[in-house]
């Protein structure tokens, strides 16, 4: 494993990390995964505690932080969306200083990226971004690990992202691909491409890493690709009244069996989850009643197929989050 020292660093977005540092975190996660599978104890931080702030709901990220903290021997405190003073009665700067005096690390999931950046500015302990509107960096480590496990390498892998590419997951996948020398193609209605500013940054990175960044409104642009990825069409915190326009704009970019058949023979399907691929959710049922559609960003057929690695990807959230905490606290 490369000699990289991340002690004391925040983990706010992948843009802040070099390809070597990202590879180091992936190697560390793979190592922890093996230890976990072999039942080898790695409770190396028995005197440490972490605070987990969630201003939006979560299943995977919360559970990953809690299980990973426990496996590393640490205590954790979950601060639920309505369970703290943050933002309502207490500023981010004051919260950061209070929590940093009691905890060794702070996870934050919430709204604007500037909030987590502000938290980190005032915290003397590492801050980890558990998702903001703009970025979802811990998800990226899990996605990269899953791709590397499947193909054995990352450089040159062609990932096509369908749907809402201008939010946390789409933005972050473009950055992840740029950093790791991969080929990223956003395939969507052009209203949903990432911002020009972020595209420019990624193209600059790509020049150094050999990555390619491209955009298309044609679903056939995914021909022969290695990874097909998507995310929900309306993200947490967005108003309900965007659904109608989103469905109209993004229905042509649903991941279907045709999309997967057009991709490479070994292509895999990825999704950060949760996903609306059937009617077994309250939101899924509500959208069916209102707009008459049974599936949204991906068909149930693709989601449940052998090509779908979504549950491996979800498991890798825990191993990679453990690597982030370990590397920044050790
Ligand atoms: N993928 C992901 O972040 O899932 P949760 O919202 O359940 O944490
Ligand atoms: N784009 C989604 C990701 C969920 C993990 C959201 O922000 O709700």
Residue 309 has pLDDT above 90, yes or no: yes
Query: How far does CA 107 lie from the centroid of its chain?
Result: 14
- What are the angstrom distances between the C-alpha of 31 and each of 6, 34, 46, 66, 79? 17, 5, 20, 19, 29
- Where does ligand 1 bind, in terms of residues with CB under 6 Å? 58-61, 131, 139, 272-273
How far is the C-alpha of 211 from the C-alpha of 193, rounded, in Å? 18
109 is catalytic: yes
Range 65-75 average pLDDT:
98
Give me ligand 1 centre to Cα 207, in Å: 32
DSSP 8-state code for residue 125:
S
Residue 85 has pLDDT above 90, yes or no: no
**Ligand 2, closest atom to CA 58?**
5
Q: Which of 136, 148, 158, 277 is catalytic?
A: 136
**Ligand 2, closest atom to CA 133?**
7
Is residue 326 within 8 A of residue 43, CB to CB? The reply is no
Q: What is residue 82's predicted lDDT score, i.e. its pLDDT?
A: 82
Is residue 132 within 8 A of residue 158, CB to CB? The reply is no
Instruction: Mention every residue, 6+ apart, whose C-beta is less than 8 A from residue 115.
Output: 87, 92, 108, 132
Write out pLDDT tens, residues 231-289.
999 999 999 999 999 999 999 999 999 999 999 999 999 999 999 999 999 999 999 99
Q: Is 232 in the pocket of ligand 2 (CB under 6 A)?
A: yes
Q: Which of 231, 249, 277, 319 is catalytic?
A: 231
**Ligand 2, closest atom to CA 231?**
1
Instruction: Mention every residue, 6+ apart, whose C-beta is less than 8 A from residue 306.
Output: none
Write out pLDDT tens, residues 173-208.
999 999 999 999 999 999 999 999 999 999 999 999
Task: List the residue whose alpha carbon is closest to atom 6 of ligand 1.
Answer: 58
319 is catalytic: no
Q: What is residue 296's predicted lDDT score, i.e. its pLDDT?
A: 96
Q: How many other CB atoms sit within 10 Å of the CB of residue 93?
A: 13
Is residue 136 within 8 A of residue 116, CB to CB? The reply is no
Task: List the residue whose alpha carbon is closest to atom 4 of ligand 1.
Answer: 60
254 is catalytic: no
Which residue(s) pair with 308 in the sheet? 269
How far is the C-alpha of 12 from the C-alpha of 249, rounded, in Å? 31
Is residue 105 within 8 A of residue 127, CB to CB? The reply is yes
Q: What is residue 2's predicted lDDT score, i.e. its pLDDT?
A: 60
Estimate the crossing angle of helix 113-122 against helix 92-102, to 10 degrees: 50
Query: What are the two backbone dihedrals, phi and then psi, of residue 3, each rounded to the nearest 5 degrees?
Result: -85, 100
- What are the angstrom distances between the C-alpha of 222 and each of 30, 155, 259, 307? 29, 18, 7, 15
Is residue 106 within 8 A of residue 65, CB to CB? The reply is no
Query: How far does CA 218 lie from the centroid of its chain?
Result: 25
Estimate the crossing angle of helix 243-250 against helix 282-291, to 10 degrees: 80
317 is catalytic: yes
Write out pLDDT tens, residues 122-153.
999 999 999 999 999 999 999 999 999 999 99
């Amino acid at each position: 494993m490369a000699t990289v020292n991340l002690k004391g660093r925040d983990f706010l977005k992948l843009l802040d990390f070099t390809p070597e540092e990202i590879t180091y975190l992936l190697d560390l996660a793979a190592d922890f995964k093996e230890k976990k599978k072999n039942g080898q104890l790695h409770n190396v931080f028995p005197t440490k505690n972490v605070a987990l702030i969630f201003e939006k709901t979560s299943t995977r990220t919360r559970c990953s932080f809690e299980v990973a903290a426990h496996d590393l021997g640490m205590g954790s405190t979950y601060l639920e969306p309505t369970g703290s003073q943050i933002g309502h009665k207490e500023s981010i700067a004051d919260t950061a200083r209070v929590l940093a005096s009691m905890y060794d690390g702070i996870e934050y999931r919430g709204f604007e990226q500037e909030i987590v950046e502000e938290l980190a500015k005032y915290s003397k302990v590492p801050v980890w971004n558990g998702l903001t509107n703009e970025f979802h960096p811990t998800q990226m480590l899990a996605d990269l690990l899953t791709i590397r496990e499947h193909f054995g390498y990352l450089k040159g892998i062609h990932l096509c992202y369908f749907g809402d590419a201008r939010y946390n997951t789409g933005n972050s996948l473009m950055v992840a691909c740029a950093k790791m020398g991969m080929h990223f193609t956003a395939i969507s209605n052009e209203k949903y491409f990432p911002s020009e500013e972020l595209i420019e940054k990624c193209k600059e990175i790509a020049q150094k890493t050999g990555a390619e960044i491209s955009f298309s409104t044609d679903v056939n642009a995914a021909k022969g690709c290695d990874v097909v990825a998507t995310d929900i069409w309306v993200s947490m915190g967005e108003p309900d009244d965007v659904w109608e326009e989103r469905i109209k704009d993004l229905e042509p970019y649903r991941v279907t069996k045709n999309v997967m058949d057009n991709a490479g023979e070994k292509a895999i399907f990825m999704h950060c989850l949760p996903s609306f691929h059937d009617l077994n959710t309250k939101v899924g049922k509500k959208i069916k009643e209102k707009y008459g559609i049974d599936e949204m960003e991906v068909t149930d057929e693709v989601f449940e197929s052998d090509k779908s690695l979504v549950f491996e990807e979800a498991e890798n959230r825990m191993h990679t989050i453990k690597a982030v905490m370990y590397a920044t606290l050790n």
